[in-house]
Amino acid sequence: MLALRAEPSDSAASRALWDEYMADVASRLPGFVPTETIFATPEAFTGPGTAWRVGYLDGRAVCCGGLRPLAEDGVVEIKRMFVSESARGHGIGRQLLAALERLASESGFTTVRLFTTEVLVEARALYASSGYRVVGTVSDGDRTDFWLEKPLPARSRAPGPGLYNARSTEGA
Protein backbone atom coordinates (compact mmCIF):
# COMPACT_ATOMS: atom_id res chain seq x y z
CA MET A 1 0.00 0.00 0.00
CA LEU A 2 1.23 3.51 -0.80
CA ALA A 3 2.45 5.50 2.20
CA LEU A 4 2.68 9.26 1.61
CA ARG A 5 5.08 11.09 3.90
CA ALA A 6 5.74 14.75 4.49
CA GLU A 7 9.46 15.24 4.10
CA PRO A 8 11.81 17.94 2.80
CA SER A 9 11.58 18.57 -0.91
CA ASP A 10 15.37 18.28 -1.10
CA SER A 11 15.60 14.96 0.78
CA ALA A 12 17.61 12.14 -0.79
CA ALA A 13 14.41 10.41 -1.96
CA SER A 14 13.06 13.66 -3.43
CA ARG A 15 16.31 14.33 -5.27
CA ALA A 16 16.42 10.79 -6.69
CA LEU A 17 12.83 11.10 -7.93
CA TRP A 18 13.63 14.53 -9.40
CA ASP A 19 16.60 13.09 -11.30
CA GLU A 20 14.42 10.29 -12.68
CA TYR A 21 11.73 12.84 -13.61
CA MET A 22 14.21 15.02 -15.51
CA ALA A 23 15.63 11.96 -17.33
CA ASP A 24 12.08 11.01 -18.37
CA VAL A 25 11.33 14.52 -19.62
CA ALA A 26 14.66 14.66 -21.48
CA SER A 27 13.90 11.37 -23.23
CA ARG A 28 10.53 12.72 -24.40
CA LEU A 29 11.72 16.25 -25.20
CA PRO A 30 15.28 16.14 -26.55
CA GLY A 31 17.00 19.47 -26.02
CA PHE A 32 14.53 20.64 -23.37
CA VAL A 33 16.12 22.66 -20.57
CA PRO A 34 14.16 22.67 -17.29
CA THR A 35 13.63 26.08 -15.70
CA GLU A 36 12.49 27.28 -12.29
CA THR A 37 9.48 28.90 -13.97
CA ILE A 38 8.24 25.49 -15.08
CA PHE A 39 9.36 23.24 -12.23
CA ALA A 40 10.09 25.53 -9.26
CA THR A 41 12.91 24.82 -6.83
CA PRO A 42 12.86 22.70 -3.68
CA GLU A 43 12.64 25.94 -1.69
CA ALA A 44 9.21 26.62 -3.24
CA PHE A 45 7.79 23.98 -0.86
CA THR A 46 9.15 25.31 2.43
CA GLY A 47 7.01 28.37 3.15
CA PRO A 48 3.56 29.03 4.53
CA GLY A 49 0.77 27.14 2.79
CA THR A 50 3.12 24.71 1.07
CA ALA A 51 3.28 20.93 1.19
CA TRP A 52 5.61 18.25 -0.13
CA ARG A 53 4.88 14.52 -0.16
CA VAL A 54 6.95 11.50 -1.12
CA GLY A 55 5.16 8.20 -1.66
CA TYR A 56 6.67 4.90 -0.62
CA LEU A 57 5.71 1.45 -1.80
CA ASP A 58 7.33 -1.46 0.02
CA GLY A 59 9.86 0.98 1.51
CA ARG A 60 10.89 2.38 -1.88
CA ALA A 61 10.24 6.00 -2.92
CA VAL A 62 8.02 5.85 -6.02
CA CYS A 63 6.31 9.23 -6.32
CA CYS A 64 6.38 12.82 -5.17
CA GLY A 65 4.56 16.10 -5.53
CA GLY A 66 4.03 19.41 -3.87
CA LEU A 67 1.67 22.30 -3.34
CA ARG A 68 2.49 25.99 -3.33
CA PRO A 69 0.02 28.85 -3.01
CA LEU A 70 -0.31 31.27 -5.91
CA ALA A 71 -0.89 35.02 -5.63
CA GLU A 72 -4.57 34.59 -6.53
CA ASP A 73 -6.74 34.21 -3.46
CA GLY A 74 -7.65 30.57 -2.79
CA VAL A 75 -5.50 29.13 -5.62
CA VAL A 76 -2.80 26.54 -5.05
CA GLU A 77 -0.52 24.95 -7.63
CA ILE A 78 0.57 21.33 -7.85
CA LYS A 79 4.24 21.15 -8.86
CA ARG A 80 6.81 18.44 -9.49
CA MET A 81 4.24 15.64 -9.42
CA PHE A 82 5.97 12.52 -10.64
CA VAL A 83 5.53 8.74 -10.49
CA SER A 84 8.52 6.49 -11.08
CA GLU A 85 8.26 4.43 -14.24
CA SER A 86 8.43 1.21 -12.22
CA ALA A 87 5.29 2.20 -10.27
CA ARG A 88 3.14 3.42 -13.17
CA GLY A 89 -0.08 1.68 -14.10
CA HIS A 90 -1.04 0.83 -10.51
CA GLY A 91 -3.05 3.92 -9.54
CA ILE A 92 -0.17 5.55 -7.67
CA GLY A 93 -0.51 8.85 -9.56
CA ARG A 94 -4.24 8.93 -8.88
CA GLN A 95 -3.64 8.33 -5.15
CA LEU A 96 -0.98 11.05 -5.01
CA LEU A 97 -3.15 13.54 -6.91
CA ALA A 98 -6.14 12.85 -4.64
CA ALA A 99 -3.98 13.30 -1.53
CA LEU A 100 -2.58 16.63 -2.77
CA GLU A 101 -6.09 17.83 -3.66
CA ARG A 102 -7.34 16.76 -0.21
CA LEU A 103 -4.50 18.65 1.50
CA ALA A 104 -5.30 21.74 -0.54
CA SER A 105 -9.03 21.55 0.17
CA GLU A 106 -8.53 20.91 3.89
CA SER A 107 -6.29 23.99 4.00
CA GLY A 108 -9.01 26.20 2.55
CA PHE A 109 -7.88 26.44 -1.04
CA THR A 110 -10.76 26.50 -3.50
CA THR A 111 -8.92 25.95 -6.78
CA VAL A 112 -5.97 23.81 -7.79
CA ARG A 113 -3.93 24.57 -10.88
CA LEU A 114 -1.07 22.79 -12.63
CA PHE A 115 1.10 23.04 -15.72
CA THR A 116 1.86 20.12 -18.01
CA THR A 117 3.00 19.42 -21.54
CA GLU A 118 1.56 17.44 -24.42
CA VAL A 119 4.24 14.73 -24.34
CA LEU A 120 3.28 13.69 -20.81
CA VAL A 121 0.29 11.79 -22.15
CA GLU A 122 -0.16 9.61 -19.06
CA ALA A 123 -0.30 12.64 -16.79
CA ARG A 124 -2.70 14.47 -19.09
CA ALA A 125 -5.03 11.45 -19.14
CA LEU A 126 -4.94 11.29 -15.33
CA TYR A 127 -5.73 14.98 -14.99
CA ALA A 128 -8.58 14.84 -17.53
CA SER A 129 -10.16 11.83 -15.82
CA SER A 130 -9.81 13.62 -12.46
CA GLY A 131 -11.84 16.63 -13.56
CA TYR A 132 -9.16 19.10 -14.66
CA ARG A 133 -9.93 21.38 -17.57
CA VAL A 134 -7.61 23.35 -19.82
CA VAL A 135 -7.62 27.05 -18.90
CA GLY A 136 -4.66 28.11 -21.03
CA THR A 137 -2.15 26.93 -23.58
CA VAL A 138 1.43 27.94 -24.26
CA SER A 139 3.13 27.19 -27.56
CA ASP A 140 6.86 26.55 -27.24
CA GLY A 141 8.30 25.71 -30.63
CA ASP A 142 6.84 22.41 -31.75
CA ARG A 143 5.44 21.69 -28.27
CA THR A 144 2.22 22.83 -26.60
CA ASP A 145 1.99 23.16 -22.82
CA PHE A 146 -1.23 23.37 -20.85
CA TRP A 147 -2.48 25.16 -17.76
CA LEU A 148 -5.09 22.95 -16.13
CA GLU A 149 -7.44 23.82 -13.29
CA LYS A 150 -9.97 22.15 -11.01
CA PRO A 151 -12.31 23.62 -8.41
CA LEU A 152 -12.06 22.09 -4.93
CA PRO A 153 -14.70 21.79 -2.23
CA ALA A 154 -14.59 24.91 -0.04
CA ARG A 155 -13.60 24.45 3.60
CA SER A 156 -13.91 26.84 6.51
CA ARG A 157 -10.18 27.07 7.27
CA ALA A 158 -8.20 29.69 5.36
CA PRO A 159 -4.92 28.81 3.62
CA GLY A 160 -1.99 29.21 5.91
CA PRO A 161 1.22 27.75 7.28
CA GLY A 162 1.54 24.24 8.52
CA LEU A 163 0.98 22.02 5.50
CA TYR A 164 4.67 21.35 5.05
CA ASN A 165 5.36 20.73 8.71
CA ALA A 166 2.48 18.33 9.22
CA ARG A 167 3.72 14.75 9.30
CA SER A 168 1.60 12.37 7.30
CA THR A 169 1.33 8.74 6.38
CA GLU A 170 -1.75 9.13 4.20
CA GLY A 171 -2.71 5.85 2.67
CA ALA A 172 -0.56 3.90 5.13
| Residue ranges covered by each domain of the chain | 3-110
Domain 3-110: top CATH class = alpha beta
Residue 56 has pLDDT above 60, yes or no: yes
Residue 164 has pLDDT above 60, yes or no: no
**139-163 core/surface letters (b: 16 or more CB in 10 A; e: else):** eeeeeebbbbbbebeeeeeebeeeb
For residue 129, report the phi and psi dihedrals to the nearest 5 degrees: -75, -15
Residue 170 has pLDDT above 80, yes or no: no
- Indicate the pTM of the whole model: 0.86
Place 154 in a pLDDT band, splitting at 50, 70 and 90. Answer: low
Residue 151 has pLDDT above 80, yes or no: yes
Where helices occur in the chain by DSSP H, the ranges are 12-28, 36-39, 92-106, 121-129
**117 compared with 154, residue with greater pLDDT:** 117
CA-CA distance, 93 to 67, in Å (whole number)? 15
**102-118 core/surface letters (b: 16 or more CB in 10 A; e: else):** ebbbebbbbbbbbbbbe
